[in-house]
Amino acid sequence: MLLRIRTVVAAAMLTVAAYATAVEMNDGHPTTYVVQKGDTLWDISARFLKKPWLWPEIWQANPQVANPHLIYPGDVLSLAYLDRVVARQEAGPRQEAPITGIPLSEVEPFLKELSVVDRIDHLPYVAGLEDNRLRATAGQVAYVHGLEQAAVGQRYAVVRPTVRYALPKPTEDLTANGKVTPGSGNLWKDFTVPNKRPHQVLGYELAKVNVGTVTHLPGGGVDVASLALQGNGDGREVRAGDRLVPVEATPYDLQFFPHVPAPGTEGLDVRVLAVTDMFLSGGPRDVIAISAGSVQGVDNGTVFSLWRQGSHVKHLMKRPDSSQMDDARVDSNSRLSLPDDYAAHAMVFRTFDNVSYALVMQGVKPVQLGYSARHPDAR
């Protein structure tokens, strides 16, 4: 995967020499590679490097590269490695968009439709719908409380709070009014690592269900603003209790590149909070939510390795008659602790304050709720 960047493994002189010791290339690589439509940085790098997340350092250490963040289909990447000097890249026709770090088609719904905020109690909300409808869609009107400071013509996204991310309970489902569904966190108690940390709310996930334009403001005895719904193309309908957030011109970054975590993330206890569209586990090309974001120094392109916590098994030779269960998540004097198991690598593609979305890139076993996220070189 990302080693495609011409695995120019050791770009220039002394600077590159430091990188060369850390970078290992896969056997049998060609001397050049022509970037194809549909390639991603991760795919090319992983094809040639054993640690594709090391690509950015190598590329940026190479003085011949004018802009390492803009690689296009048709570009010829030199994979020659001779005296720590590499040939200049040959530019392609520039008829296609530059390639990205991961396949955008697989994360686009999460870029466009989902976001995470610290709180929701202050957001404007849908108080009612025209003709006292229970649901409304494009061409109909929603009446919104809390838009006193808005302007006629301003556009808003109608969003629905779906999940509250927290620790030690990783996810808790929300009701129509945005409150935690009683008992929902108990669904996950058998799949999370026991700990004594205080309960911490990390954020509320918002799913976009529609967009609309303000047509009338409160006043003259009317307490709500009118929002003309314009549709979202996915068939979802607006209901009372949905919240509103301003439409952002550029809510996310499409150009990001795989790299190791920032130094400030070392030692953090980062956990898998959720696996999209799955109850417990997922594999390559599945999206996960993790318990770290921009506040912790995580940014787009950060690569983590994901690990299952080692279980604690009965010490059969010491206590053969024990009635304890064979496998437990908590250690004791009568148990033997097994090592943690590597599961997969994942790359972050969108960050919020304390939560990030990541795409599972490759692995040897399914990723499950509660797994820890560590430096990609962890052993």
H/E stretch holding 105 reads helix 104-112
pLDDT band at 15 (very low <50, low <70, confident <90, very high): very low
More confident residue, 60 or 294: 294
Work out the pLDDT band at 19, boundaries 50, 70, 90: very low
Does residue 36 sit in helix, strand or coil?
coil
**By the 8 A CB rule, do 46 and 303 touch?**
no
Distance CA 54, CA 258 (A): 8
DSSP class of residue 109? H
The string over 290-301, giving b where at least 16 C-beta atoms fall within 10 Å of a residue's C-beta and e elsewhere, is bbbbeebbbebb
pLDDT band at 16 (very low <50, low <70, confident <90, very high): very low
- What is the tens place of the pLDDT at every residue in 163-193? 999 888 778 889 888 888 887 767 666 666 6
**Cα–Cα separations (whole angstroms), residue 360 to 42, 107, 302, 355:** 12, 11, 12, 16
- Omega into 168 within 30° of 0, i.e. cis? yes
CATH number of 263-374: 2.40.10.410
Supply the CATH classification number for the domain 2-78.
3.10.350
Sequential DSSP letters for 331-347: --TTEEEPPPEEEEEEE
pLDDT in the model for residue 10: 30
Top-confidence residue, 329 or 179: 179
The structure tokens listed for 311 are 């279980």
pTM here? 0.82
Question: Which pLDDT tens digit goes with each residue over 96-145?
Answer: 888 888 888 888 888 888 999 999 999 999 999 999 999 999 999 999 99
Q: What angle do CA 218, 224, 230 make, to 5 degrees?
A: 105
pLDDT, mean of residues 244-269: 83
**CA 116 – CA 161 distance, rounded (Å):** 9
Task: Taking residues 196-201, report their average pLDDT.
Answer: 79
User: Phi then psi for 4, rounded to 5 degrees?
Assistant: -55, -25
Structure tokens at 208: 């976009």
pLDDT given at position 322: 62
Mean pLDDT of 44-53: 82
Asked whether the domain spanning 263-374 has the same topology as the one spanning 2-78, the reply is no
**Between the CA of residue 70 and those of 1, 111, 281, what are the distances in Å?**
16, 20, 34
Confidence of residue 280 (pLDDT cuts 50, 70, 90): confident
Is the model more confident about 136 or about 60?
Answer: 136
Among 345, 231, 250, 252, smallest CA distance to 290 is for 345
Q: What ranges make up the beta strands (E) of 105-246?
A: 114-117, 125-129, 141-145, 155-167, 171-173, 200-216, 225-229, 243-246
Q: What share of the chain is helix, strand, coil (3-state, %, to 5)?
A: 15, 35, 55
Q: Is the pLDDT reported for residue 256 higher than 50? A: yes
DSSP secondary-structure letter at 61? Answer: H
The pLDDT of residue 121: 93
Domain spans in the chain, listed from the N-terminal domain onward: 2-78, 114-246, 263-374
What does the alpha-carbon distance between residue 103 and residue 44 come to, in Å, rounded to a whole number? 12
